[in-house]
Amino acid sequence: MKNKRIPLIIIVLFCGLFAGSLFGDLMARVIPEGFLKKIFFETVSIGIKEPLKLDLSFFYIVFGGVLNINFFSLLGLLVASIFAYRIKK
């Protein structure tokens, strides 16, 4: 019974990351340049920046992906994890 909720919890966490990133991008357009903008809107990129290609002449596959994390995406993840904890019960 509890295993059926795991995909829902993962979806909630990804939605929290997405909502936090979206909110951060919207706020970055409003906040003027300065120290505050540099602290809260600095983005850290984690992942494979150049795609990894595997060509077997009959099969071609490309691996890659980058996760951009900033303060607001972590804040969205925190809110979503609290929500996911409540769903888990």
Sequence ranges of the domains in the chain: 2-41+68-88
Rounded to two decimals, what is the model's pTM? 0.70
In the prediction, which pLDDT does 6 show? 81
Distance CA 22, CA 27 (A): 9
Local confidence pLDDT in tens for the 89 residues of the chain: 457 778 888 888 889 988 988 888 888 888 888 887 787 788 888 888 888 898 888 889 998 888 888 888 889 989 998 888 887 66
Please say whether the beta carbons of 27 and 18 come within 8 A: no
DSSP conformational letter for 84: H
Residue 67: enclosing H or E segment and its boundaries? strand 60-69
Strand partners, 36: none
In the prediction, which pLDDT does 88 show? 67
| Backbone dihedral region for residue 33 (phi beyond 0: left; psi -120 to 50: alpha; all else: beta) | beta
